[in-house]
Structure 1
């Protein structure tokens, strides 16, 4: 994360600093007046059963402005706020007290634009005291505070916990506000997630669809979707049926041949207007061999980086979870991946902060690079993806399509080809075996599918040759996990299933 410290003089005279409040912490209460003169108390809103989103930003903060322009929090407020279902409040807290009213209105010297005109929810200025009470260290910091509080056994007062929801999508904020929080939405409340194809294999037809869950108290009986492809309107899609609270339905949004940007909007629910948007990037496919290398040189924030390769049907093939490279700043990694002939795959690289590997914009840091290279043994025979953070290109997701058109060999003594987990699936315990080409340090880290580290094993300095060790999942829930093995300079990630 990019830490933007406001009070340099304070840091210069203080040797200690509070850590930012982690998810699950109790949200400090506050009372503040917005720029229109309305006074707000956080706990009063929570006592009334509202979820509250707190957006700590600064008028000069570029990532804050870019996220605001996307309109995600504005859509949350208009859909679920006082003029919508009445279940949620959003606040913009301008947390750098050195900024001015002119900066808020886009005419000052420390501003990225007119914040007042693009923000439809309350703006609280001079909120550095609230920023500090949450021990924040960077902008933007976005929290969701849940109304399902607990009573303090000592004071008898209610306390409410928070989660750092961050710069997520509309769907991500809805999940944080109404799934993570025990707060149902009044009326019908469909939540969309794109689950269609994201690549056109060999330039052929691709299918679009969205998964819709109803988080509201009323049944959804009709939905109308407006669809655009590269800005051109397509035929509206109408669905009818019964989607009850907690139910899920996949909606077919049509088939297409053109690649590019696919936008879909839920414009009507049960005959009433609705405002929810989604976007999917549809990529073409570059020819690749059956053996490719994923190469990434991390920047100063490697914990933000992750990647996956999935088949055209969405089956997971390989990847690493975000967080798994933590501590490996400015480090080159190579992963070997075997693919099937005449199949198409989608590579997705993730940066949780949204700035890609463009680290030099934050100071004297080296930019990262990423590539996918088709291999034949030790020889490079083609390039699928070539990205350099020094180009200034930022991303939250970087997507590339591949179509395997030829079979090539993989090098001997390759770590990826020698790693095996058996049995898989398993119940509580399984065995990881691999062959190390040379002696060196080795470690195993296991992540769940949301990137949390659940097992960590430092194997120390291992000898060259075949290695075997037991993995114990008995303390973990049944589910899918990613086992990340590092031996020397090689890394391999396997997908395993604990069925208990």
Structure 2
């Protein structure tokens, strides 16, 4: 019992080391570190721009460090005020390699998945800041003074966004007198498809002492203002507001949003740059390969078009307790799509994807692979992928059907009982891809080769197949053809 009590007490407090902590009010030593995304952070350059820095010094094996990060207060604060401050988490234990951030060695877990703001490893920062326990959390003000603020606020309880904002902008660091409007985040879609328009939404805030009642948000491309939106309202100290801007074309790719307020005293947080991402260009024939785990009924997928209509959907049979006809199966589904913009979404009702060891004998993780006729990989996921994964794509290939070729491509005999063949004539040499799928979504025949010009006949081994309906999909170059084959006794 005494051991349990001692363990609980130790695990509830920061891990201690034998050294003196850097006193609050000291001048912060400069550091230049590169985070896991390759971005370089120079402390003094950040401070000289007028921004404060929240510095979380932790160790990958430290339980209280993990608990604090799990609370997500720095994550939420960074989303709200991330253009006025810089939050950085640094693994400061020199005895742990940098790759332990991914969850290796004695790490509690994958820190790169847990922490969404700047994350780095540095073996020297602990000595520079006279680190004496993990986690140590510093607030470094623009005047370069450093203050140890810990995991809890002076008002009691762990930090939250409002209490941390007051600490950063009012209590510890010198408050900004006057007007200081800023753009904190971009809150609209990043992906675009075809000629789609994007309606930008940005969050503005006020970290100055005076109320903002009006401002202008500019949309800038290639150094030129392409649109401006006037905002009028009431934005007091530390308040935020979302502003909907004029539609723009996603094909602009790189756009900057800038806020203009009369009398603004600080310009370093006035702008934010956004990069738009074009959708993948896909062939009109899409194949979905699902390898199920022990709980197939938890997994389903759908494809929606630009009108938000479901054009394809699949769920799987299984028992609530696991097992069933689709458990541990490889299932293939072929979908032919018209020219449009689409979203493929796969869902898991349990929220843990398709993990390995889902039941005795099921040691391989389930997976979902989505490809088009040209082999383009639209999605490839496996294991614990959470409750939902999605990908946007645009069908722009394989849409034109050669009427002469289509009329010469046929299955005979059909219906069939002993044999059946696909017959066609090619005017030129071309790449052939044939796939036959049963009504369970299982691929029973597959063939891929280069064919010369002339007449061709592909025999199917239907004697090995059960009676029923089969879908035969043929690709010749960038064109696709679908036939229905019926096998009878």
**TM-score (normalised: structure 1):** 0.36
Max Rg structure = 2
